[in-house]
Amino acid sequence: MGSSIVHFAGSLITVPVAPPIAPPVAPGPPATVPAPALPPTIEDVQKDTPIKLFDFLQSLAPVPTADDGRPLFDQDSKVHYLTDASCNANGEYVISGSDGNFYDISISSTGAVSFKPKGAPPTLNLKVMPMKRVTNALGQVDSLRGELGAMQNRLGSVITNLNHTADILSQARSRIEDADYAVETSNLTRQQILQQASKVALTQANQLAQNVLALLQED
């Protein structure tokens, strides 16, 4: 703070001088605080938006199963919005299931999630359900072909084993028949030899009696 000297009636009076007041500075814009991210609403869902199975489990409920035990929804499940005859969205949404059908999803005030089959598929996605069913049918055909191929391989192995067994039995039969023929041939040869020896002995015996009679007649 400075001072100044003022002459007043022949006297000197020191008057303090206040410092100049700085002009006010205009306040700057307030600091912006980022707003918390809001969860996506149904209006934010676009046509054919993929739904990940993990996100579905975390956000809604455990994945329900169909009558055959398969998951009702999988990674291929998508959100579809319905349209009217003029192709305008009517505010209804459905989710395509793994079985090729479409389901309405509703959440009660208590948080319970319910799934209700939808009678008609989305107007703009009429090809989804037939293609899904065709894909499922092709998968079933491939599965059946695999099972039939496995059965055919097993039957082929059984037939091969049976043919091998038949060959072994045929060879054993041939060996048995050959052995029996050799034994019978040997027995026949022995009988023939014995028969011939018996004939020779009988002939010699007959001749011996005749020789004795001849000697007696000479005496």
What is the number of domains present in the chain?
Answer: 2
Does position 218 have pLDDT exceeding 80, yes or no?
no
Rounded CA separation 43/93 (Å): 10
Residue 96 and residue 84 share a domain: yes
Residue 196 and residue 122 share a domain: no
Residue 121 and residue 47 share a domain: yes
Rounded CA separation 97/129 (Å): 9
- Greatest mean pLDDT among 135-139, 180-184, 192-196: 192-196
Q: How confident is the model at residue 139 (pLDDT cuts 50, 70, 90)?
A: confident
Whether the model clears a pTM of 0.75, i.e. scores above it, the answer is no
Q: Which domain holds residue 112?
A: 42-126
- Report if residue 108 sits inside a domain: yes
- Contact call for residues 72 and 64 (beta carbons, < 8 A): yes
Element housing 113 (H / E)? strand 113-117
Q: Is the dihedral of CA 140, 145, 150, 151 positive or negative?
A: positive
Give Cα 50 distance to the centre of its chain: 21
